[in-house]
Amino acid sequence: MKKTGKNRFKALLDPISERLVVLAALLMFSMFAILAIHPFVILGISL
């Protein structure tokens, strides 16, 4: 009984944790992209 309940919980948790990992990776990538592009944007505005 306990095993099936745990497996069901894990099956429910896995997709959520996968989405969180993907979201975190996308957030990190977007932050890095913004930081990388930001100086060029400032230079473009100043020029």
Q: What pLDDT was estimated at residue 7? A: 79
Give the integer Cα–Cα distance in Å for 21 and 35. 21
The DSSP code for 8 is H
What's the rounded mean pLDDT across residues 17-37? 91
Give the integer Cα–Cα distance in Å for 11 and 3. 12
What average pLDDT does the structure give for the chain? 82
Tokens of 28: 């990190």
Flag whether pLDDT at 9 surpasses 90.
Answer: no
The 10s digit of each residue's pLDDT in 33-45 is 888 888 877 788 7
